[in-house]
């Protein structure tokens, strides 16, 4: 794959931040196209426009617009030299994928909820984020219209991602629990994956780059409940200077209690919602609803999350017998085996 990699992104996009932090850590050079620069450069458009969008050559040498950070991260791991962001141990790599998906598909709901539910957060996001696409010298009238258009569009999407008056307490208590779990882990380890970061670290960083460092309501909670996590997020942005040892990963045979507790948290909402989504998709439904321990969860179905579940199940199935037995013990101990085994 040709470097520098070329991509379009924006600082207010958690997945852009995930991939930028990954590339910095892996010492992959890149060209970052902000705002309308990609269109001006005549770049192709993806089927669904998402940030970040990478512009990569396919086998025929054609430039393609490629989205979705999870498969991209794996493709870069295989095709671009640099230090590894995926654990060598297959069991640890599976749990790295699982926590990456939890951050990308669940923690992002917290991010969206805090940004578009509370007045100070709406004010900050709608005033500043449009300037990233329109440019700082944007025309005043266009700027005023963009603020109103952007905030309305995002606020209207709250129920689609599952945020409504019934689920609000569930999202907010889940965020505070997550902060406590992360802080307990970071009091013993530099990264989720040990003394070096994995995909899950970059995904969690991407969401926290917004929750802990941009949106004021969730940021205050992070400072109050999780000072280490707040500090970690600042640090994750640029790990280009971090020196890592080959064997600095967690020992998969003895995962720390703090990581086991974080995995157990996935049973609260992420696992049942991912399963309910996959089942609703199979029935061709546009909406899903599932009773969680703390209340009813309702959201629009997400085709991409159906794929995420398949990828996780495929990765588990590809483990050799000894690794599968080992991973199974961790899944059962943490109460999240349904994600892999429940019938759809
Ligand atoms: N699955 C994608 C998700 C990317 C995504 O959702 N990006 C958001 C910004 S952070 C976006 O572009 N949303 C477009 C929209 O809301 O219309 C990934 O992993 O990269």
The pLDDT of residue 217 is 98
User: How many angstroms does the Cα of residue 326 sit away from the middle of ligand 1?
Assistant: 34
53-57 β-sheet, strand order: 30-34, 5-9, 53-57, 63-66
Instruction: Please report, for the chain, the start and end positions of each structural domain, with discontinuous segments joined by +.
Output: 5-79, 90-116+160-341
The pLDDT of residue 99 is 99
User: How many angstroms does the Cα of residue 255 sit away from the middle of ligand 1?
Assistant: 32
In Å, how far from its chain's centre is CA 197? 14
* Other C-beta atoms lying within 10 Å of the C-beta of residue 234: 13
Q: Residue 277 is encoded by which pair of tokens?
A: 């989504």
The pLDDT of residue 133 is 86
The pLDDT of residue 172 is 98
The pLDDT of residue 189 is 98
Residues with CB under 6 A from ligand 1: 13-15, 50-51, 67-70, 104, 304
Tell which one of 13, 46, 50, 112 to mutate to probe ligand 1, the residue whose CB is within 8 A of the most ligand atoms. Answer: 50
| CA 153 vs CA 61, 88, 160, 224, 339: distances in Å | 37, 42, 11, 31, 32
Low-confidence residues in the chain, pLDDT < 50 = none
Tell which one of 14, 15, 153 to mutate to probe ligand 1, the residue whose CB is within 8 A of the most ligand atoms. Answer: 15
Architecture category of domain 5-79 in CATH: 3-Layer(aba) Sandwich (3.40)
The pLDDT of residue 1 is 87
Nearest-atom number in ligand 1 for the CA of 52 is 20
pLDDT tens profile 80-105: 988 999 999 999 999 999 999 999 99
Hey, whose CA ends up nearest to atom 18 of ligand 1? 68
The pLDDT of residue 34 is 87
Hey, whose CA ends up nearest to atom 1 of ligand 1? 68
Cα angle: 344, vertex 157, 16; to 5 degrees: 85
CB 56 within 8 A of CB 8: no
User: What is this structure's pTM?
Assistant: 0.98
Distance CA 19, CA 70 (A): 9
The pLDDT of residue 100 is 99
The pLDDT of residue 36 is 85
Nearest-atom number in ligand 1 for the CA of 304 is 1
| CA 86 vs CA 22, 205, 331: distances in Å | 11, 15, 20
Alpha helices in the chain (DSSP H): 14-25, 37-40, 69-79, 90-101, 108-117, 119-134, 140-156, 158-161, 168-186, 199-211, 216-225, 227-236, 257-265, 270-282, 303-317, 321-334, 338-341
Distance CA 126, CA 196 (A): 36
């Amino acid at each position: 794959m040709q470097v520098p990699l070329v991509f379009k992104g924006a600082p207010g996009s958690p997945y852009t931040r995930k991939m930028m932090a990954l590339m910095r850590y892996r010492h992959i050079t890149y060209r970052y196209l902000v705002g309308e620069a990609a269109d001006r450069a005549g770049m192709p458009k993806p089927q669904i426009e998402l940030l970040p969008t990478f512009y990569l050559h396919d086998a025929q040498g054609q430039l393609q617009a490629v989205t979705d950070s999870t498969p991209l991260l794996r493709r870069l791991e295989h095709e671009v030299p640099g230090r590894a962001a995926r654990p060598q141990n297959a069991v640890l790599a599976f749990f790295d994928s699982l926590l990456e998906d939890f951050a990308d598909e669940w923690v992002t709901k917290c991010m969206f909820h805090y940004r578009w539910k509370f007045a100070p957060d709406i004010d900050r996001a709608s005033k500043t984020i449009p300037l990233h696409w329109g440019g700082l010298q944007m025309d005043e009238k266009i700027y005023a219209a963009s603020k109103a258009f952007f905030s309305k569009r995002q606020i209207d999407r709250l129920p689609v991602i599952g945020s409504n008056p019934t689920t609000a307490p569930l999202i907010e208590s889940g965020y505070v629990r997550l902060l406590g779990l992360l802080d307990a882990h970071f009091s013993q380890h530099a990264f989720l994956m040990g003394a070096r970061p994995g995909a899950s670290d970059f995904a969690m960083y991407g969401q926290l780059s917004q929750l802990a460092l941009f949106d004021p309501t969730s940021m205050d909670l992070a400072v109050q409940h999780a000072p280490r996590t707040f500090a970690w997020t600042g640090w994750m942005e640029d790990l280009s200077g971090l020196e890592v040892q080959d064997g600095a990963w967690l020992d998969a045979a003895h995962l720390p209690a703090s990581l086991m507790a974080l995995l157990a948290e996935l049973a609260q909402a992420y696992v049942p919602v991912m399963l309910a989504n996959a089942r609703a998709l199979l029935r061709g439904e546009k909406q899903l609803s599932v009773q969680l321990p703390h209340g009813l969860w309702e959201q629009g179905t997400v085709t991409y999350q159906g794929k995420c579940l398949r990828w996780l199940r495929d990765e588990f199935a590809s483990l050799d017998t000894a690794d599968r037995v080992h991973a199974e013990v961790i899944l059962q101990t943490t109460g999240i085996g349904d994600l892999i085994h429940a019938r759809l």
